[in-house]
Amino acid sequence: MKKNVVAPSVGESITEVSILKWARKNGEAVKTGELLLEIESDKATVEIVAEATGVLQILKEAGQMIPIGEIVGVIDDAATATASSSAGAPPPLPSKAGPGAPPPLPGSAPVAASAAAPAADTDHSMSPAVRKAVTEQNLDVSKIPGTAKDGRVTKGDVQQYAAGGTPAAASTPQAAAPQAQGTAPVALQGTQPARATPAAPAYTMREGDRRVPMTMLRARIAERLVQAQHNAAILTTFNEADMGPINELRTKHKDAFKTKHGVPLSFMSFFTKASIEALKQIPEVNATVDGRDVIHHDYYDVGIAVGTERGLVVPVLRGADKMSWVDMEKKIGELAIKGRDGKLSIADMSGGTFTISNGGVYGSLLSTPILNAPQSGILGMHKIQDRPMAVDGKVVIRPMMYLALSYDHRLIDGKGAVTFLVVLKDFLEHPEKLKLEY
């Protein structure tokens, strides 16, 4: 009996995913509950496990875009595993470049070669989404150079071909004007909603250029950042805090804290606790603009921006105001590990009311963070650096950090933003007010 492996629904409004990687090989025996593959949506990575025991037949390769519900593999309990599973990868599709195609130029992407001599894409090599798009727009798929593995045509290739006449991968000096300096990369166009405005000129590929499609997560990040700048009046105000008192408090308690609870006492918990106190005094920073209404949140779900190899993700500490120091440190550590390993779920990253971003871990001295829509405020932490400061009429060296609050000026006036940072600074420079208990 054969059991289909299908791309599951991973969230509301998500219609397609991409296969991030297969954990098993074609022709390999698998058991119920074993990890088969990881799929990626524009929000999170999801693991798919085997629902039956048998031999795996892979139908869709890593890197392909898959509509929700499509069959990506089959588990056959009557089949026999191949003798060498390492040789059991799915057979490669015929190259679209053809046997007579010249070898690619050094440093050029394989996609350029496939674009030079496209061949017709057969029905079995097109996903349902591509087939539907081609049929609806009455296009000849053989004229659309593909950018996916083995020269396959993706839905993005079809959309770009229909919008501009030729996709970026096939552009030549004669077919496309050079991209003007400062123009947004054409790869971003596929992530934007369809607009009536003309498409930007395609980038002219040169020897030494490599074209790599954005991951779904990277494309989603790009879309949300542009959306935030278009839909909010973003302004940033700055202050600075003397981190000496927190350093002294951490030095005094961090060893006992870790020995007792097994987690470190980090700067992030101090900033989260201090931010909540500031949000209580300036509640509009914790609110959301919805049309001509303001939605006030009487709870504090604080997003903690985490940089990963796949891009920036923002898991949320739910009910952060009700967390003890120990619970907060444990949750921050748990989310950081899940982010690093690509295990964050959509639920982990949904519903935050305010965000904290720590660019200081990478050495950033000052920045202007972009809002995490639909939130109205985001706090930027930065590198702690010794600087000469005037204290009681004397110049002394103090460990200082610049603080940046980006906020939606439609809702928050300058007075509120400045007051938020003043309150935050006061709690950071007098951390005893935060009542460290463990």
Exactly one of 42, 409, 426, 430 is catalytic; which is it?
409
The reply to whether 409 belongs to the active site is yes
Using omega within 30 degrees of 0 as the cis cutoff, is the peptide bond preceding 374 cis?
A: yes
Please name every residue paired with 345 in a beta bridge, in sequence order, or none if there are none: none
In one-letter notation, the amino acid at residue 431 is P
If residue 337 lies in a helix (H) or strand (E), which one and from where to where? helix 325-340
Quick check: 315 and 367 in contact, CB under 8 A?
no
Quick check: 7 and 17 in contact, CB under 8 A?
yes
- 404 CB-near residues (< 8 Å, 6+ apart): 236, 237, 238, 366, 367, 368, 369, 379, 380, 382
The reply to whether 293 belongs to the active site is no
Q: How far apart are CA 372 and CA 354, in angstroms?
A: 8
Exactly one of 386, 413, 426, 430 is catalytic; which is it?
413
Quick check: 110 and 104 in contact, CB under 8 A?
yes
In one-letter notation, the amino acid at residue 155 is K
Q: How far apart are CA 354 and CA 305, in angstroms?
A: 11
Please name every residue paired with 295 in a beta bridge, in sequence order, or none if there are none: 288
Q: Which of 231, 255, 268, 233 is nearest to 360 (CA)?
A: 268
Catalytic residues: 409, 413
